[in-house]
Amino acid sequence: MLHVRDAASPLLEEQRVEVEAVLQELGVQDKPTLQVFNKIDLLSQGAATPMPTGAIPVSALKSEGLDHLLDCIDAALTADPLMEAHFSIPQSEGRILAALERGATLLNQRYEGNTVALTAWGPTSLLGRYRQYQQNGSNGSDGNAANNNTGRLSGERR
């Protein structure tokens, strides 16, 4: 869960208490949470705003700290790590193509006859569902998915 806080707000602590009360009411107070402090661009240059250990400072307006935030999110997703996989899927499998497009990032996609060759970056649980269509990353077009690898885990952002 991301708890995004306004780093420049004079009510920063009061807002935290209110959000934590709502999370308690919802019964999700024990879920893993990343503390994100947004609007750091509004903080005075010399003034240091105290941030808890592990807080992630960002400025959405100036796109500062967003890569670090994404890295922290990736690291927190240990239950379903991200991976890259290469697929060769028949065009007639529109349901599968739509599921991959919805739940993963398509890094590339090309049409080869009646198949769609694509590379996807997404959750292992999603990409693993379509293992029978996965191809070896080096040649990706031999049409023999059953004998090829099932993608690779990677911490590197695509």
Q: Can you give the pLDDT at residue 114?
A: 96
Q: Can you give the pLDDT at residue 138?
A: 32
80 contacts: CB under 8 Å, gap ≥ 6: 123, 124, 125
Distance CA 42, CA 64 (A): 12
CB 83 within 8 A of CB 127: yes
pLDDT < 50 regions, the chain: 138-158
Place of tokens 């009061």: 14
Domain boundaries, the chain: 2-76, 82-153
Q: Can you give the pLDDT at residue 46?
A: 56
Q: Can you give the pLDDT at residue 45?
A: 66
Fold of 82-153: Alpha-Beta Plaits (3.30.70)
Q: Can you give the pLDDT at residue 136?
A: 76
**Residue 83 burial class via C-beta count within 10 angstroms: exposed 0-12, middle 13-18, buried 19 and up:** buried
